[in-house]
Amino acid sequence: MGKKLKFKTYNLDLGNKKLVELHSKSLDKHGVLKGRNKKETKVLKATCMHHKLNKKGKLKSRVSDVDKNGVCHCLMCEADFRALPYTKEDRKKALADSLNLIDNTKFYATAVGVNESAQRVLAEAAVTMRVVAKINKKVTKIVMKKDNLSEKKKKNDVESTLGSWSTKRK
């Protein structure tokens, strides 16, 4: 089989702090996540929850306005992501695509002999993706319920898909 390939895997040790609290304290003067080194910055950006705590301890969204394609941009980690909640069909397709990528990678990674820690990351990713889909389903239900309540209270030009963290369309 040849030489074992080694891939760097990150052991995420985020301490006992809540993620939003950790990210709020890791912002530079421009409001972008910054770690003590490149590795820590990558981990902070990968774990970004797209919210920060203000000086009074209130949760504040850090996403820019939703563009015409329904995409918003996180000002902290600089990620672009879909602003609208996933429908059941969209969620199934996204999960299938993600699992297909993971399964493909697991197959070839094992065939070429990657190290055990990389194989474990891939195995955990497959399990985690299924959990993410279930969490997304539950969160989407809550968002939709909150949207229905807020639509009854006020009808204006504000996108209500993000509930109290709403953003206006450009």
Q: What is the pLDDT of residues 107-137, one digit of tens each?
A: 999 999 998 988 999 999 999 999 999 999 9
Q: Are 109 and 117 in contact (CB under 8 A)?
A: no
- The predicted pLDDT at position 68 comes to 85
Q: What tokens appear for 42 in the block?
A: 């990558």
Task: Specify whether 158 is located in the same domain as 102.
Answer: yes
Q: Tens of pLDDT along 40-94?
A: 899 899 989 999 999 998 999 999 878 888 899 999 999 999 988 899 999 999 9
Residues 95 and 74 both lie in one domain: no
Last residue of a domain, one of 40, 65, 83: 83
137 is in which domain, residue-wise?
84-170
Interatomic CA distance for residues 50 and 79, integer angstroms:
9
Cβ atoms 114, 7 nearer than 8 A: yes
* Domain-terminating residue out of 62, 83, 104: 83
- What does the alpha-carbon distance between residue 86 and residue 96 come to, in Å, rounded to a whole number? 14
In 115-157, which ranges are E strands? Answer: none
- Which of 83, 114, 142 corresponds to the end of one domain? 83
* pLDDT given for residue 64 in this prediction: 87
Same domain for 53 and 19, yes or no, is yes
Given this model, what pLDDT does residue 163 score? 45
58 and 128 belong to one structural domain:
no
Let me know whether 141 and 155 are in one domain: yes
pLDDT of residue 147: 77
> Could you give the CA distance from residue 60 to residue 140 in angstroms, rounded to a whole number?
19
Look at residue 170 in the predicted model and tell me its pLDDT. Answer: 47
| pLDDT bucket at 38, cuts 50 / 70 / 90 | very high
For position 107, what pLDDT does the model report?
A: 95
Alpha-carbon distance of 94 to 81, in angstroms, equals: 13
- Rounded to the nearest angstrom, the gap between the alpha carbon of residue 166 and the centroid of all alpha carbons in its chain is 18
| The pLDDT value given to residue 154 | 55
